[in-house]
Amino acid sequence: PHGLVHTPVFMPVGTQGTIKGLTSEQVKACGCRLILANTYHLGNRPGGEVLEQLGGVHKLMSWDGNLLTDSGGFQMVSLLKLAKITEKGVLFQSPVNGSEMLLTPEKSMQIQNQIGADIMMALDDVCPSTCDDYKRFVEASDRTLRWIDRCIKAHKNKHRQNLYGIVQGGLDAKLRDYSLKEMIKRDLPGYAIGGLAGGEDKALFWRVVKQCCDVLPKDKPRYLMGVGYTLDLV
């Protein structure tokens, strides 16, 4: 709805509805047509209802380009000490005031629908790539698939907002292959490669990226999550 985006492209991060240090006009002047915001942080402050009343994040930040919203899944890693993960969802304790938010797949979809993002990420179970518990990776991969089905069911604005699924599986080739095949079966508008850029060796990182790119549909966008270092881009 907000114009074409030519790939490959790097998305600047505007976690709370702003690119720090730049106005929306300056971001646009740089040639950027796609930025990223975060569902958990925006859902926490100012809240989905407020954003919906304002007309979404596009209106909030006077941005006429495209917007992608992270589902809040990464906060399972960045705010791990303040989060409790269950099959129902993730119970977060706010790092700002200590208030609790239960972020379920349904709640993530609700907030992202209210935000009005052009691309919405499904809530996934994120296990750090450096974790040494294989059973945890299996659990996260299976739960991510169960959660994508809940996200698809809860998504209320399919004609204007595209829901992307996230491939998990850690650094294990068989788990990645399983997650890839199952996610592709959902026939989504686009796919993301998740669970990387968490401190793993670069050789392992690129091996998984290649494995995923070789299998994911070539005619749909592929989003490599979490990268931003110069070496990753080139």
Do 93 and 99 contact (CB within 8 A), yes or no?
A: yes
Long-range Cβ contact pairs of 206-214 (< 8 A, separation 24 or more) = 207/171, 208/169, 208/171, 208/173, 208/176, 211/173, 211/176, 211/177, 211/180, 212/167, 212/176, 212/180
Q: What is the pTM of this model?
A: 0.94
User: Can you give the length of the chain in residues?
Assistant: 234
What is the Cα 73 distance to its own chain's centre?
Answer: 7
Q: Within a 10 A sphere around the Cβ of 110, how many other Cβ atoms?
A: 19
169: left (phi over 0), alpha (psi -120 to 50) or beta: left
For the chain, 234 residues long, give each residue's pLDDT as a single digit of tens. 799 999 999 999 999 999 999 999 999 999 999 999 999 889 999 999 999 999 999 999 999 999 999 987 766 665 666 688 999 999 988 777 888 889 999 999 999 999 999 999 999 999 989 999 999 999 999 999 999 999 999 999 999 999 999 999 999 999 999 999 999 999 999 999 999 988 899 999 999 999 999 999 999 999 999 887 888 877
Phi/psi at 112 (nearest 5 deg)? -70, -35
Q: Which residue has the tokens 């972020």?
A: 103
Which residues are paired to 12 by β-bridges? Answer: none
